[in-house]
Amino acid sequence: MKIAYIAPDDWQEGIMPALEKLGYAVVKEVDEDCDLIYGNSITQMPRIWEAHKKYPNIPLINYVWDLYSWALERKREDEYDYDSYKELCQESKEIWVPSKAVQKSLEDYWNMESIVLKSFIPTIPYPDTKPQGYAFQALRMNPDANMDWFERGCKETGMPYKMTDPNEPLPEEKYRPLLAHSSFLVSPIYEMSTGGLFLMEGAIFEKPILASNSPYMGAIEYFGDTIAYFQWDDFEDFKDKLLGMWTGKIQTDVERAKKKVEEMTPENMAREIDERLKSW
């Protein structure tokens, strides 16, 4: 089978050699010999639409990373065109998603069915991961209902904290020390497809994690009972859990969390894709 894989030019290309090892031919541009168009990310929507319109008879799959209520109801000025993306998804033979949280979003917001295929996660080692006494959050700013909870909770409890500035993206050489030297990680928001890439990166460093237990939070599926959770709609519970993480009253299984991330490889994802395609 020849797959046209339309994805960002970044770590997501790691799936290509893994699929090739299983016997697939994987190319970046579609042609008439392709058996499948695999669109990965709304950021590539113009390219995916172009490929689909040029070759409408080639089956199309879209891997939908996320679908957030705020992107539909409280759109930012530069928001992606989700109406067009919905139409593109409707043209798909199947929709694949990284978690049950995104699957639920598609069901609730677009009345669409999807298949969960958990993503692989890139991990980069760092030589010094000794905690330096602060909680850390690394999320892009968005209109999520709980977006300000981390900073509010830390200020109200007097807890030392650091967070990335959404207006000034950090280069890797500044971001990685912040992550590596944190005491624990926090992802308090209501909707997040995987919980946040920084959680996976930090889990490799055996950082304890606190996340929302929202049904739209993918961290639950990726980490299970290896991390701590707070009641997503209870700010006081969030503050209590923050303090519990800080004092050590709440303990998490950092070794098992690390093992879960180590298992999120391109090879494992490729095997799931292979199984799915062979089931058609």
Complete DSSP assignment for the chain: -EEEEE--SSGGGGHHHHHHHTT-EEESS--TT-SEEEEE-GGGHHHHHHHHHHSTTS-EEEE-----HHHHHS--TT---HHHHHHHHHT-SEEEESSHHHHHHIIIII----EE-PPP------S-----S-EEE-------TTTTHHHHHHHHHT--EEE--TTSPPPHHHHHHHHHT-SEEEE--S-BSSS-HHHHHHHHTT--EEEE--TTBTHHHHHGGGSEEE-TT-HHHHHHHHHHHHHTSS---HHHHHHHHHT--HHHHHHHHHHHHHT-
Mean pLDDT of 7-26: 96
State yes or no: pLDDT of 79 exceeds 90.
Answer: no
Mean pLDDT of 218-246: 97
State yes or no: pLDDT of 172 exceeds 90.
Answer: no
Quick: pLDDT tens for 122-159. Answer: 888 899 999 999 999 999 888 899 999 999 999 999 99
Confidence of residue 75 (pLDDT cuts 50, 70, 90): confident
Confidence of residue 8 (pLDDT cuts 50, 70, 90): very high
